[in-house]
């Protein structure tokens, strides 16, 4: 392995490699590398659990990591355990112990050169591509004999690490995957043999001292729970699914609005960026007063449990009103009624009165949506106040104007500066109407399934919009051209809620990013120092999240404005390149030739899926609208991966084939070969034998291939101009000129 490659990937996985050699000569050998989802025959040692505890000193930017793992010899023979644990280059080894019962055995550090020789030998002997990237760092080693059948061994590793800093963000990365570049992901979607999955329990607990230094923590890769207790932040994640490197950002709290930008720039195309904008703690003097209009559907279909949940939800909103706020409360069924005709002050007496009024509301009658919206949007917004409309309904219009198109047009005419947040409860709502309202109203739409709790959905919004910080947010200047960002336009910024923006950029440069917004009628401007590099291989989660948000925005556009062939084609290309399954690409996984060989058939099918506005109701329309709405707000890789639209496949009775996300690509298992969904059969294909001289030559020159080759011995990876296939029928060597042509055909598209 060459030196440049070692520098490029300095900190490969913190996943354990446990080699179990048979106790007697001639016995079968087995080994496991648990976090790369590889199942190898003859293995006798399995990992039962992983518990990671991290303590962060916010002032000194130091993290202390304790890793405890438990393994078991599940074979029928006595084994010798040889425990190897790669350590990232920026970490400082503190302590490593392997327990044999109560006996503690200390580990030894191996120098990088010796570690590299060990792993290269393992690659040659075991033929495992997941090990290819393990170069350029030290390795801990502990050996123990004997490990009797059925016995368990406990491993404890302790080390410290400096946290990286990106702008006003501190950054913690806990690598779990061996053999992939920093920031890349490897995960499974569905249909995969369960033996290939990493299902052992994994828990991660992070305690951050000096909580007052930080705004709300954010993980782009994993779901986390955050609590503040005794001046410390407590962050937890637990799961037992597919493994991926854990990333955590800790925004430094500033007296003014803080912003940090991180980038991913593969080269040969515009770069990707994530902009995290974090407001400070809530100062009383800077809160923007709100005018809140609550609109509740009280038609007969809302009776029973839904009405009780809606009352509880609105009660939470009322409890969150502050003395400087005003509110209106409107109910509608066949007719529209108002608590008061004018704005009501949010004082204790008035709030008690409206709660009594709400308790007496009875759900009955039909659904007069048009009159309710006209009443809600009638007042002129007052200068210096933020007007919010919260609209809750469980049905489509049945009284008065019932055409969704005309109602949406009327809302566009009536709306001034109101922000509209809509909730569609159950499958009977017209998703077109709610999407149009939220889009024009610079708000959001949330879809609540019949079995879900309305109160929980509304409470989430209540927390988000509790304390406005800046309205009419916009980026005035940046050191490179920022484009194609989501959400677009930028939503309002609220205290306690970071705004996360994903987009593309052209050019490069370091310099000022200027953010502008209004607060209580006054324009305010903030300046930050950011870096938009020409090439940056880290932060590989950004393209996937950008693609997910864009796919959600484009599918919503098709539902709102009709099936434009160019937009549908753009959705398809996003799905193929980034592994995003959308309503226009999910069924193509079942029939991939439809995408690449029969464009007319694909487009006919896609065009037929776009319903007219009046017909966008029912379970299928609900599921599609819900998925695109959630995709537009996807902030985590695992969240984006779960947002697979199953309505098309399920509606046709198809079973999803085995699929795996690797990096930003999606692979489908067909005829024993993991095939890149973006593979065009018209491309020239170069076939290579796994683990041959040609194989290693390709990986040395294009390290990104290793994560795809780790899928197995039969893989097809598509480039922009040609594809490469791993197959036993391929070639074992490649000449210099052909290698150069192949690299040119693949580089820039991986």
Residue 732 neighbours by CB distance under 10 Å = 11
Specify the higher pLDDT residue, 551 or 663: 551
Contacts of 503 (CB under 8 A, 6+ apart): 272, 273, 275, 482, 483, 484, 485, 486, 546
| Average pLDDT estimate for 585-593 | 46
What confidence tens digit (pLDDT) does each residue in 298-357 have? 999 888 888 888 888 888 889 888 888 999 999 999 999 999 989 999 999 999 999 999
Percent of the chain with pLDDT over 70: 72
Q: Residue 584 has what pLDDT?
A: 63
**Burial 69-94, CB ≥16 within 10 A → b, else e:** bbbbbbbebbbebbbbbbbbeebeee
Is pLDDT at 181 greater than 50 in this prediction? no
Is pLDDT at 463 greater than 50 in this prediction? yes
Token code pair at residue 362: 């009875």
Is pLDDT at 700 greater than 70 in this prediction? yes
Interatomic CA distance for residues 53 and 67, integer angstroms:
7
What confidence tens digit (pLDDT) does each residue in 487-538 have? 988 888 887 778 899 999 999 999 999 999 888 778 888 898 899 999 887 7
Token code pair at residue 466: 């509790």
| Average pLDDT estimate for 32-45 | 38
Pairing of strands 386-393, 419-425: parallel
Specify the higher pLDDT residue, 649 or 444: 444
CB contact at 8 A, 636 and 187: no
| Average pLDDT estimate for 61-78 | 83
- The DSSP result for 88-138, as a single string, is -TTEEEEEEEEEETTEEEE-EEEPHHHHHHHHHHHHHHH--GGGTT--SS-
Range ranked top by mean pLDDT from 96-100, 222-226, 427-431: 222-226
Q: Residue 84 has what pLDDT?
A: 61
Closest residue by Cα to residue 39 from 192, 175, 183: 192
Strands (E), 191-289: 202-208, 225-229, 232-239, 246-251, 258-264, 271-278
What confidence tens digit (pLDDT) does each residue in 103-113 have? 666 655 555 56
Percent of the chain with pLDDT over 90: 21
pLDDT category, 244, cuts 50, 70, 90?
A: confident
Is pLDDT at 125 greater than 70 in this prediction? no
- For the chain, domains (ranges, CATH) are 3-251 (2.60.40.1730), 258-284+477-532 (no CATH), 288-464 (3.40.50.410), 541-656 (no CATH), 679-746 (no CATH)
Count of all residues that appear for the chain in the document: 750
What confidence tens digit (pLDDT) does each residue in 664-697 have? 777 888 888 998 877 777 778 899 998 888 888 8
Q: Residue 497 has what pLDDT?
A: 76
Q: Residue 187 has what pLDDT?
A: 35
CB contact at 8 A, 472 and 517: yes
pLDDT category, 20, cuts 50, 70, 90?
A: very low
Range ranked top by mean pLDDT from 7-11, 389-393, 633-637, 705-709: 389-393
What confidence tens digit (pLDDT) does each residue in 365-406 have? 999 999 999 999 999 988 888 999 999 988 888 889 988 889
What confidence tens digit (pLDDT) does each residue in 624-661 have? 777 778 778 888 777 776 664 443 333 444 455 677 77
Is pLDDT at 576 greater than 80 in this prediction? no
Is pLDDT at 198 greater than 50 in this prediction? no
Specify the higher pLDDT residue, 613 or 470: 470
Q: Residue 498 has what pLDDT?
A: 80
pLDDT category, 274, cuts 50, 70, 90?
A: very high
What confidence tens digit (pLDDT) does each residue in 138-151 have? 556 555 566 778 88
Residue 171 neighbours by CB distance under 10 Å = 17
Q: What pTM does this model have?
A: 0.73
Measured CA distances, 179 to 13, 86, 134 (Å): 7, 11, 6
pLDDT category, 178, cuts 50, 70, 90?
A: very low
Q: Residue 206 has what pLDDT?
A: 96
**Burial 516-529, CB ≥16 within 10 A → b, else e:** ebbbbeeeeebebe
pLDDT category, 285, cuts 50, 70, 90?
A: low
| Edge-to-edge order in the sheet of strand 169-174 | 164-166, 169-174, 246-251
pLDDT category, 581, cuts 50, 70, 90?
A: low
């Amino acid at each position: 392995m060459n030196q440049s490659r070692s520098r490029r990937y300095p900190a490969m996985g913190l996943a354990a490699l446990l080699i179990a050699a048979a106790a007697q000569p001639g016995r079968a050998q087995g080994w496991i590398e648990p976090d790369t989802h590889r199942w190898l025959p003859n293995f006798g040692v399995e990992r039962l659990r992983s518990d990671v505890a991290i303590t962060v000193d916010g002032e000194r930017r130091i993290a202390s990591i304790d890793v405890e793992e438990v393994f078991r010899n599940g074979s029928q023979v006595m084994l010798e355990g040889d425990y190897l644990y790669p350590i990232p280059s920026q970490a400082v080894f503190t302590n490593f112990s392997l327990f044999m019962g109560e006996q503690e055995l200390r580990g030894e550090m191996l120098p990088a050169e010796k570690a590299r020789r060990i792993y290269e030998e393992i690659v040659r002997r075991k033929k495992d591509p997941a090990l290819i990237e393990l170069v350029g760092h030290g390795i801990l080693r502990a050996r123990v004999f004997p490990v009797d059948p059925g016995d368990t061994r406990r491993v404890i590793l302790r080390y410290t690490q400096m946290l990286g800093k990106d702008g006003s963000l501190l950054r913690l990365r806990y690598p779990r995957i061996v053999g992939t570049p920093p920031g890349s992901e490897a995960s499974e979607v569905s249909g995969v043999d369960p033996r290939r999955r990493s299902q052992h329990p994994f828990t991660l607990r992070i305690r951050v001292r000096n909580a007052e230094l930080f705004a709300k923590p954010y993980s782009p890769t994993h779901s986390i729970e955050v609590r503040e207790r005794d001046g410390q932040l407590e962050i937890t994640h637990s799961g037992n699914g597919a493994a991926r490197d854990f990333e955590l950002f800790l925004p430094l709290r500033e007296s003014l609005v803080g912003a940090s930008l991180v980038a991913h720039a593969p080269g040969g195309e515009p770069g990707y960026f994530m902009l995290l904008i974090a407001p400070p703690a809530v100062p009383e003097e800077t809160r923007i007063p709100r005018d809140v209009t609550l609109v509740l559907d009280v038609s007969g279909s809302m009776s029973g449990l839904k009405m009780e949940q809606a009352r509880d939800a609105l009660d939470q909103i009322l409890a969150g009103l502050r003395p400087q706020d005003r509110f209106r409360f409107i109910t509608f069924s066949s007719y529209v009624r108002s608590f008061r005709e004018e704005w009501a002050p949010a004082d204790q007496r008035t709030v008690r009165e409206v709660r009594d009024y709400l308790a007496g509301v009875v759900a009955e009658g039909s659904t007069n949506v048009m009159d309710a919206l006209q009443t809600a949007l009638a007042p002129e917004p007052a200068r210096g106040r933020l007007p919010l409309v919260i609209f809750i309904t469980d049905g489509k219009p049945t009284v008065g104007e019932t055409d969704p198109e005309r109602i949406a047009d009327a809302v566009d005419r009536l709306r001034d500066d109101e922000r509209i947040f809509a909730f569609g409860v159950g499958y009977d709502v017209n998703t077109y109407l709610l999407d149009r309202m939220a889009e024009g109203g610079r708000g959001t739409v949330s879809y609540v399934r019949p079995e879900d709790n309305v109160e929980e959905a509304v409470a989430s919004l209540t927390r988000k919009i509790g304390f406005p910080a800046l309205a009419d947010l916009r980026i005035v200047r940046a050191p490179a051209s920022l484009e194609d960002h989501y959400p677009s336009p930028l939503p309002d910024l609220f205290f306690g809620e970071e705004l996360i923006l994903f987009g593309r950029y052209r050019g490069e440069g370091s310099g000022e990013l200027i953010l502008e917004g209004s607060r209580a009628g006054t324009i305010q401007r903030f300046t930050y120092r950011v870096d938009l590099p020409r090439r940056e291989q880290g932060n590989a989660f950004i393209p996937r999240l950008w693609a997910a948000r864009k796919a959600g925005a484009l599918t919503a556009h098709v539902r709102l404005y009709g099936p434009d062939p160019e937009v549908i084609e753009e959705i398809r290309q996003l799905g193929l390149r980034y592994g995003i399954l959308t309503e226009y690409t999910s069924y193509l996984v079942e029939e991939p030739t439809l995408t690449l060989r029969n464009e007319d058939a694909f487009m006919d099918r896609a065009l037929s899926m776009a319903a007219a506005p009046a017909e966008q109701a029912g379970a299928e329309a609900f599921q599609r609208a819900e998925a695109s709405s959630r995709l537009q707000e996807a902030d985590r890789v695992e969240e984006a991966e779960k947002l697979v639209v199953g309505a098309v496949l399920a509606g046709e009775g198809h079973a999803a084939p085995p699929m795996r996300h690797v990096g930003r690509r999606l692979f489908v298992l067909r005829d024993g070969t993991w095939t890149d969904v973006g593979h065009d059969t018209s491309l020239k294909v170069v076939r290579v034998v796994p683990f041959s001289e040609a194989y290693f030559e390709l990986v040395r020159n294009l390290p990104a291939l290793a994560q795809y080759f780790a899928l197995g011995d039969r893989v097809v990876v598509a480039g922009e101009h040609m594809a490469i296939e791993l197959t036993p029928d391929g070639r074992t060597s490649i000449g210099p000129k052909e290698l150069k042509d192949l690299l040119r055909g693949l580089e820039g598209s991986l």
